[in-house]
Amino acid sequence: MKRVFLGLGSNVGDKMAYLQKALALVAERVGAIEKVSSFYATKAWGKTNEDDFYNAAVEMQTNLTAFEVLKTVQKIETELDRVRKEKWGARTVDIDVLFYESDVIATEELKVPHPFITDRRFVLVPLAEIAEQLIHPIKKKSVQKLLEQCTDNLSVEKITQTN
């Protein structure tokens, strides 16, 4: 089994429902989810005139290769109505492979660790919640240390659900 971390986001429609559906499909098709962060609300990053995002991070175990994980989560995105029109555009669901073991992969198709982890609080905050001591294999720093050093000032607020 391989340990993989995924980042999930949504800023279209019922964001919470899209994330919950994505989590269910990831558990069904990628592997056993061990930890799920809280959900966080953030302003759009990159293309800032979009609706706010809900974001989360997941730690899981898989028998899939990193490339199989990528293909599987891309298929899940498509099934959940993701349409790729423009970079950083609105999306029903976005699932990124953040880490795969301590592997470093740099192909056109897949870059692991995800190249923007260190620049994005909306990734680091949920990731630190579930894996603060995880070491970035290139930066050689923990997720918590990367969060402390992150210069992104985007607000990342934990969503509290009331029933």
* Helix extents (H) in 13-65: 15-29
- Predicted local confidence at residue 98, as pLDDT: 98
Packing angle of the helix pair 66-79, 15-29 (nearest 10 deg): 140
For 80, the token pair is 């959940």
Active site residues: 82, 91, 94, 96
CATH number of 2-158: 3.30.70.560
Half-sphere exposure of 53 (CA within 13 A, CB side): 30
* Helix extents (H) in the chain: 15-29, 66-79, 121-131, 143-149
Looking only at the bridges linking them, the beta strands covering 53-62 and 2-10 are antiparallel
User: For 125-144, how does the pLDDT look when each residue is reduced to its tens digit (9 = 90+)?
Assistant: 999 999 999 999 999 999 99
Calculate the CA 98 to chain-centre distance.
Answer: 6
At residue 160 the predicted structure's pLDDT band, cuts being 50, 70 and 90, is confident
Strand, helix or coil at 93?
coil
Each domain of the chain, given as residue ranges in start order, spans: 2-158
Q: What's the whole-number mean pLDDT along residues 14-22?
A: 94
